Chains A and B, each alone.
Chain A
Amino acid sequence: GESVGLHLPTLSVQEGDNSIINCAYSNSASDYFIWYKQESGKGPQFIIDIRSNMDKRQGQRVTVLLNKTVKHLSLQIAATQPGDSAVYFCAEIEGYSTLTFGKGTMLLVSP
């Protein structure tokens, strides 16, 4: 069941601002990273991925940055919209193993 007192880190932004969500990963051997967006009551939705041979990848309004030196991943969302409000998870994987998820960050976008 739910752990008493557990809460997700929350990032609150205004509509139109740029958002940056950070993630520290644990396995230095991870070679593939994915950001997922999860809206309430729904499954995680793929946003963008990056392989370890890259340090930056851009999509539509989103950019993922990878710093392998400090094992840090970030997701930048440009011109954040209310529809971007959700929980964002980073995930790492090494080879053909299983995904390891981060704890998640809740993004709240106010009009």
Chain B
Amino acid sequence: GAVVSQHPSRVICKSGTSVKIECRSLDFQATTMFWYRQFPKQSLMLMATSNEGSKATYEQGVEKDKFLINHASLTLSTLTVTSAHPEDSSFYICSARGVSGGVQETQYFGPGTRLLVL
């Protein structure tokens, strides 16, 4: 399957700092990228959807000013958690999806980023 990378895999930061997480599709062009958040023993919760070159669409309850998403190219999306607080500690997972022949392709996931805010 296609490869999606995330960096960093783990980050510990102080409360009030901002953290940037990068997501890259390594072997395909991702027309759409997704950012998820996952708490222990729960399913993935979609935070936002972004299409290359346009503003992200945020799910209800997700603060767009706190979780800044940039999808500058067909292979790179970034999520910046601004002024992080302990309640933002979670497992953040990106996902990427391409389109081929007018049919949406399989959605592949990155390995996730564990964020711990002290």
Interface residues of A (CB under 8 A from B): 1-3, 6-8, 32, 34, 36, 41-46, 49, 89, 91, 93, 95-96, 98-99, 101-104
Consensus secondary structure, chain A interface:
loop
What is the CB-to-nearest-CB distance from B1 to chain A, in angstroms, rounded to a whole number? 5
Partner of A42, one of B34, B40, B87, B111: B111
Q: Say whether A32 contacts B44, CB under 8 Å.
A: no
A2 to B110 Cα, complex, angstroms: 22
Residue ID in chain B nearest A104 by CB atoms: B43
Given contacts A34-B107, A98-B49, contact A44 B93 (CB under 8 A): yes
Given contacts A1-B87, A32-B104, A99-B107, contact A41 B42 (CB under 8 A): no
Partner of B42, one of A3, A34, A44: A3
Residue ID in chain A nearest B42 by CB atoms: A6
What is the CB-to-nearest-CB distance from B2 to chain A, in angstroms, rounded to a whole number? 8
